[in-house]
Amino acid sequence: MPGYPVTVDPELAPIMDRYLELRRAGLTVLRAAIETGDLPTVIRQGHVLRGSGGSYGLTRLTQLGGAIEDAGRRGDVDEAARLAKAVEEFIDNVDISYQGRKPAMRILMLAINDPAGTAIQFCKALNRYTAHSARLVTLETRYTHGWEKDLHVPDLGPDGMEEIAILMREADVFHFHMTCDENQPFGPLKPADYIKGKTVVHHHHGHHDFRSDPESFRAKYRKLGRTNLLVSTPDLLKLLPEARWQPNLVPIDDPLLKPMWGRYDDPGQLKVCHSPTRKDLKNTDEFLAAVKYVNRRNVYLSVDMIDDAPNHECLARKRRCHALFDHMQGYYGVSSLEGLSQGLAVIAALDEWNRARIGEFAGTDDLPWLTATNQDELADLLLRLALDREYCEQTGEAGRSFMEACWSDRRIASDLATYYESL
């Protein structure tokens, strides 16, 4: 068999063997699906290869994964089988060497508003952990959470606007968040006037315009020939299957995102927090009803409903709690990641699709989220956490360990940097 020399970043060395092991396991699943004609699984396994190969510097796997996904959509199992054999040949014969990253890139993120403060965290992590330089330009402030800003147009004078013009002119990558695109004015400046020759990335975070009509966005990207598409949670891949899932990050070593000492020394009430930006979308009514059910059984919960608070205050209040309720929509929010990092027992009703995608990303099926899919299950779970503090504490410790091992901001930044370099 021929060899396949590949040069990747040295930071990937500790996890490359594990990644290839996971891909071999995925091949077993793929072959079984091909033999039984299970086309959804063929498509899913191809999608995993397409999405993950580039993150590990293995563009050949990305290419083969995309071809397998296409073959599955066409129902061509013979072609899928041929491609699966090519994947096996590559994995068995890849010759990996480790060298430094490609030359540093200048990445300009643009958003009407920063979704849950995620864009600024991407910029900070890229600047901290990679050779690349990232900046963020925003236009509006929504909610009152006080997320950190970089270049916020309403706060800028002539010098600040001139800096944005320079950044637009000099950027290698335009990274648009949510509904923002090159036609969005930022004061007197419009990215369309600077976009020629740039790499363009579109990143969706579940904005209601996108959720309600994803096909309009897909049609726009097809017309423009845009293929560099990201989504922030796995459920959005169903709306934009051409995209790559780019997990959000939290800076796990920030003091506000570390577990609080002595939290379990107090034998008093179990403290549970909930921080909905949209109560109608976060199952807040069901949460409060479940709390009421528990309290009627003389097992009282202390609830911190965090609403319209600055982000630093929100994190400080969460950190003093024992458990966190995210929501029951089938996926997870940034609040989940914050709670796991803080060592809280985190409750969210992850569905099978999201659990599978997260397991593939994390390299383990042992996920730390506690699951409640309806009000009754949530009430039972809260009751158990209140009565069994050891279980609650162990769940929180498992969440923190998971974030350190599988979801650190260093790893996410490295994955995103590798993605940019592959474009």
Residue 201 φ then ψ, to 5°: -120, 135
Residue 108 φ then ψ, to 5°: -115, 115
Residue 18 has pLDDT above 60, yes or no: yes
Query: DSSP characters for 62-95?
Result: HHHHHHHHHHHHHT-HHHHHHHHHHHHHHHHHEE
Please list, in sequence order, all residues whose beta carbon lies within 8 angstroms of the beta carbon of residue 227, skipping any fewer than 6 positions away. 221, 242
Dump pLDDT digits (tens) for 265-299: 887 899 999 998 777 779 999 999 999 999 998 88
Q: How confident is the model at residue 365 (pLDDT cuts 50, 70, 90)?
A: confident
Residue 298 φ then ψ, to 5°: 60, 25
How wide is the angle at C-alpha 306 spanned by C-alphas 302 and 308, nearest 5°? 160
Share of the chain above pLDDT 70, in %: 97
- Mean pLDDT computed over 30-42: 93
Residue 156 has pLDDT above 90, yes or no: yes
Closest CA to 42 of 18, 11, 76, 14: 76
- Mean pLDDT computed over 128-145: 85
Q: Which of 274-283, 361-370, 411-420 has the lowest mean pLDDT?
A: 274-283
Q: What is the pLDDT of residue 335?
A: 94
Side chain identity, residue 356: A
Specify the pairing of strand 133-138 against strand 151-152. parallel
- Mean pLDDT computed over 36-45: 92
- Mean pLDDT computed over 25-52: 90
Dump pLDDT digits (tens) for 108-133: 999 999 988 899 999 999 999 898 99
Q: Which of 138-152, 263-277, 329-343 has the lowest mean pLDDT?
A: 138-152
pTM of the model: 0.76
Residue 102 has pLDDT above 80, yes or no: no
Dump pLDDT digits (tens) for 210-235: 999 999 999 999 999 999 999 999 99
Q: What is the pLDDT of residue 1?
A: 42
Q: What is the pLDDT of residue 180?
A: 97
- Mean pLDDT over each residue of the chain, to the nearest integer: 91
Share of the chain above pLDDT 90, in %: 71
Residue 4 has pLDDT above 90, yes or no: no
Q: How confident is the model at residue 195 (pLDDT cuts 50, 70, 90)?
A: very high
Q: What is the pLDDT of residue 143?
A: 59
Q: What is the pLDDT of residue 116?
A: 83
Q: How many CA atoms lie within 13 A of 167 on its CB side?
A: 23
